[in-house]
Structure 1
Amino acid sequence: MTAEIIDIRQNRERALARASTVLSEGFPIALPTETVYGLAADATNPAAITRIYETKGRPRFNPLICHVADFAMAERYAEFDPISRKLAEAFWPGPLTLILPLRAGSGIHALATAGLDTVGIRIPRGFAGELIRVLDRPLAAPSANTSGKVSPTSAAHVAEDLGEKLQLILDGGAAPVGVESTILRVEDGAVRMLRPGGVAGEEIERITGLPLIRAEGPVAIIEAPGMLASHYAPTAAVRLNASHVEPGEALIRFGDTPITGIEPATAVFDLSPSGDLAQAAANLFDYLKRADASGAKRIAIGPIPNEGLGEAINDRLARAAAPRE
């Protein structure tokens, strides 16, 4: 089986109809969101959710984010505290996921939440939200890639990795944000960041007026996606905060930062020559894939400021560079 690819920019109605059919039959599809491409299936259908885990090779203790069409739909499945509601009003639709208590009898299957009594909820921008509204069911949708590997930001990335395992890939062009959503959990009036992502921590603090609590060190309990120590990894090893290039390495740098010994690099990429962190985030996964395809034994990464979206970029790179089991 080779996946059918439909360009939603040219065939929106056909894409909606075909996607609705495949999803209603209990099979996952790949679809574009503003963050990365997602592997989406009906979050109320255990067989469909099982197919997500099988297609990705994802451990079942790692919960899935459930995507909904609007706030009213979110309230059907989760219970909101005042701070979470304020965050949703500020950033939805958009790249923010809130970990919330599951509403009793919500219908989201325990396989999607990894048996937890909470659920990660977000409202995506664009076509994904439109499809969910037509389907009128939440879509569980992790990134559309083999588990632990670099996330896809284009339909071509998905086709290269999972094209033989899927019936349908929807092509919406390059994902504009380029990193996954920020994941937050509000507990006892405090806001914890479980994963940095497409909404910067500074923006969250501005909306809530509260200091953001960040995780320190390895976590004992997986509360949300993207918390595994090793994740987002290319085949080649990754070396961080590089000031020089060693033989056999590809280089990814930021802001035209001076790096010595570039000449023998197998490939050189600059996430944003102008130093724009939003552009760097959008390019990150694509450049990791390109550097990996250059034949490099290792990928050297130049320093990136740990502010704004730089926090999400550095989080992904740290997990890409982590020791692999």
Structure 2
Amino acid sequence: MSLLPWKKSFPKKFSTNTRNKTLPPVVCLFGPTAVGKTDLLEELFGDSAEIISADSMQVYRLLDIGSAKPDPPSLKRIPHHLIDILDYTEQFNTGDFVRLAEECIRGIHNRGKLPVLSGGTAFYFKNLLFGLPPIPPIPAGLRETLNDELSEKGPQALHMQLALVDPETAERLNPADRSRIVRALEVFRGTGQALSTYKTASKPRNDLPCLLLGLERPRAELYERINERVEIMFQQGLYEEVKNLITRGACEDDPGMKGIGYSEFFPFLREGCLTLGDVKARIQKDSRRYAKRQMTFFSSLPGVQWFHPDQTEDVRKVIEVFTTAGS
């Protein structure tokens, strides 16, 4: 069922102002993994909206089961954006997401639809809502130089360099996280300042009218759903999906292979002393830990209205008030 017969344009109160570049209004629907975002989206929206995926793994082609992408019928019923846009070897950072999401928001609005941002990657939401840190442009060619150093010296050596110039960033990065180490050194060499000195704004930006809707479940209920989801992923062929990716040349250092649901397979394949049951248990455990971190982060965002996913009509009413405000 469609949320409402969508109007040709937003109310004047929310109209895009090309002079100050205010973005059209957006509904943000977020919550931890397996909370029930996809099902609720299908209940709320038909042809009245288009979805912008805020999921750091669903951007990658061929990573379907482990990233819990919506199935093809769901993608056909409601247009989705920022899904299957990159190869798993390519880096996709928060800045990329914010720029593409803003383009999608404008495009969806111009088609007379409601932009709905949905997913579980908390940093994507925060940087869209608060704005990107003001990092100056980086000189061309610097990343290529750093990648050459990476190939020659290895990630550990570059991580040690980073620790000398930006200990705060080095502390939070895994010494094997090649792409983020390169990015941090790129910022330092290109701007003369540590990446950690560029902070996200403390207040939400004033050029993006948005409705923040958070989904939550009791912890025991959520953890049960996470465990069940992982079971279903294995039934759907997650192991075969990962094997096929590795046959194609995927390796542990690829950005797409670092996500939960994929990274846990590499010790299994490398060490040979784990069973698929062990891998499944690790994915379940990592997913539960991730869900806890997600809830902590999302709870820190200001102005969120929280709902259980079963409160469909309550959520629908809040969205109707938001989209008709000022009319």
Q: Is the TM value for this pair above 0.5? A: no
TM-score, with length taken from structure 2: 0.28
Larger-gyration structure (1/2) = 2
Considering Cα pairs closer than 8 Å and 6+ residues apart, tell me whether 1 or 2 has the greater RCO: 2
